[in-house]
């Protein structure tokens, strides 16, 4: 190292002067104050963001279940009965309002217009597959003088309760529920052993095809309960439970899927979306059989089971829910929220529904447009 470089090296290594130290410490103090403020803000905001993200995810999963159930409306439902039968459905209000007459064919979709919390709608879906048990997701078929087709996975097994339907054979035919002369309309899968010693699950002889060439369809309905109705049923509605999640705005409720129990007709409730202010339904009908929706309605109370499966082409669901928590730094602008379209709008006044702090919540409207795929089989 040259003398010149050595001198510069020594000079660079000298300490800070007092005045330099003072400047540095003052700057440091300012930075610390600034960061701690920002840090608190960041913490606060990230908490809110987590809530927002959580409720969005819940919302999406809940809506997906609703979408699938609407698509499945009518799946496995008979259009006719082989013999006279009597079945029953829900036993608790308001679900009892949507029961079908005990010997009539079931209607696949029903709507209660503005009957629920904050004037929200009530939606009923009937199909074998809308329950939450595994059996309701299974089906198979049986040919004359043969064992039921056994799928490699998800096969029906002994003990499961099923309905059996003779499919329609031509355009004028009707999928007909096999009902025995004594009114029995479901059966239990049972094990049978063939000549070679192989055991397989099948249906009792009385429910099997009687003619060569016939093929019956077997629908799983419930795992182990005697059936009170030859299908399953799920109701969607907004309700305030005894205790609401603390982050929900006053006046909101929870969107539930309530599955009617085969055992007692009560509803087993599955909470789908928290902090829901309203749910509205608009049904798209094709009244002249050209496949195109030509009429939009909010109530279908006058339609028969046949009209429901022939005319309903679309179900629109509008859900108004709160996103995240109450936020005093947020100000929601629109006090009267419009749910719906096509001149069938229901207005919800957040001020009178939620109270004075209505605008401290982030309100989001979800819209679901679903085409039922199983009404016409």
Under rule CB under 5 A, residue 115 binds Ca ion: no
Q: Is 70 helix (H, G, I), strand (E, B) or coil?
A: helix
Nearest approach, Cβ of residue 306 and Ca ion (Å) = 17
Give dist(CA 183, CA 40) in Å, integer: 69
Q: With binding defined as CB under 5 A, does residue 288 bind Ca ion? A: yes
Give me the least distance between CB of 339 and Ca ion, in Å please. 8
Token representation of residue 278: 């309203």
* Contact status: 307 vs Ca ion (CB under 5 A): no
Q: How far is CA 217 from CA 82, 108, 178, 222, 352, in A?
A: 14, 19, 10, 16, 52
* CB 229 to Ca ion: min, Å: 26
For 8, the token pair is: 């510069």
Instruction: Name the segment binding Ca ion (CB under 5 A); options: 46-54, 137-145, 281-289, 318-326.
Output: 281-289
278 binds Ca ion (CB under 5 A): no
Nearer to Ca ion, 135 or 280 (CB): 280
Number of residues that bind Ca ion (CB under 5 A): 10
Question: Residue 367 is encoded by which pair of tokens?
Answer: 């819209």
Q: Which stretch binds Ca ion (CB under 5 A): 43-51, 115-123, 185-193, 362-370?
A: 115-123
Cβ burial of 201 (10 Å; 0-12, 13-18, 19+) is buried
Taking CB under 5 A as the rule, does residue 269 contact Ca ion? no
**Backbone φ and ψ of 163, nearest 5°:** -110, 155
Determine whether 247 is exposed, middle or buried from the number of CB atoms within 10 Å of its CB (0-12, 13-18, 19+): middle
Structure tokens at 208: 């099997």
Check residue 121 for interaction with Ca ion (CB under 5 A): yes
| 294 near Ca ion (CB under 5 A) | yes
| Closest distance to Ca ion from the beta carbon of 235 (Å) | 15
The stretch among 39-47, 204-212, 295-303, 322-330 that binds Ca ion (CB under 5 A) is: 295-303
Nearer to Ca ion, 290 or 333 (CB): 290
Integer Cα distance of 238 and 206 in angstroms: 43
CB of 315 to Ca ion, least distance (A): 13
Checking 188-191 for CB contacts under 8 A at 24+ apart, the result is 188/158, 188/159, 188/160, 188/161, 188/162, 189/156, 189/157, 189/158, 189/159, 189/160, 189/161, 189/162, 190/158, 191/158
Q: Please state the closest distance from residue 284 (CB atom) to Ca ion, in A.
A: 10
Dihedral pair phi/psi, residue 331, rounded to 5°: -135, 110
Instruction: Choose between 202 and 311: whose C-beta lies nearer to Ca ion.
Output: 311
Among 214, 286, 314, 327, the residue binding Ca ion under the rule CB under 5 A is 286
Instruction: Indicate whether 174 belongs to the interface with Ca ion (CB under 5 A).
Output: no
Point out the residue whose Cβ comes nearest to Ca ion: 294
State yes or no: residue 298 binds Ca ion (CB under 5 A): yes
Site string for Ca ion, 95-114 (x = CB under 5 A): ------------------xx
Residue ranges binding Ca ion (CB under 5 A): 113-114, 121, 280, 286, 288, 290, 292, 294, 298
């Amino acid at each position: 190292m040259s003398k010149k470089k050595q001198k510069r090296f020594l000079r660079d290594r000298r300490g800070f002067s007092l005045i330099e130290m003072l400047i540095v410490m003052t700057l440091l103090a300012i930075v610390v104050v600034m960061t701690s403020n920002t840090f608190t803000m960041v913490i606060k905001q990230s908490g809110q963001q987590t809530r927002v993200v959580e409720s969005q995810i819940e919302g999406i999963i809940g809506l997906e279940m609703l979408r699938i159930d609407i698509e499945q409306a009518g799946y496995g439902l008979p259009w006719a009965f082989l013999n006279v039968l009597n079945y029953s459905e829900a036993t608790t209000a308001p679900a009892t309002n949507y029961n079908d007459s005990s010997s009539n064919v079931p209607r696949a979709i029903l709507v209660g217009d503005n009957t629920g919390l904050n004037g929200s709608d009530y939606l009923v879906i009937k199909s074998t597959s809308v329950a939450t048990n595994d059996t309701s997701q299974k089906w198979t078929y049986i040919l004359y003088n043969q064992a039921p087709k056994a799928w490699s996975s998800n096969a029906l097994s002994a003990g499961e309760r099923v309905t059996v339907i003779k499919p329609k054979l031509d355009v004028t035919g009707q999928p007909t529920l096999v009902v025995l002369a004594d009114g029995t309309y479901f059966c239990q899968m049972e094990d049978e052993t063939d000549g070679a010693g192989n055991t397989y699950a099948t249906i009792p002889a009385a429910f099997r095809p009687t003619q060569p060439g016939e093929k019956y369809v077997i629908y799983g309905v419930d795992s182990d309960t005697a059936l009170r109705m030859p299908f399953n049923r799920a109701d969607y509605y907004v309700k305030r439970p005894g205790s609401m999640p603390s982050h929900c705005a006053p006046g909101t409720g929870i969107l539930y899927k309530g599955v009617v129990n085969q055992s007692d007709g009560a509803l087993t409730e599955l909470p789908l979306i928290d902090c829901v202010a309203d749910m509205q339904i608009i049904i798209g009908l094709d009244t002249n059989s050209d496949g195109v929706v030509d009429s939009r309605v909010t109530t279908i109370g006058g339609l028969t089971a046949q009209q429901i499966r022939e005319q309903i082409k679309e179900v629109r669901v509008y859900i108004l829910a709160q996103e995240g928590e109450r936020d005093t730094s947020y100000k929601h602008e629109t006090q009267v929220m419009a749910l719906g379209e096509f001149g069938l709008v229901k207005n919800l006044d957040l001020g009178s529904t939620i109270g004075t702090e209505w605008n401290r919540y982030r309100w989001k409207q979800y819209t679901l447009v679903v085409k039922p795929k199983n009404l016409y089989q």
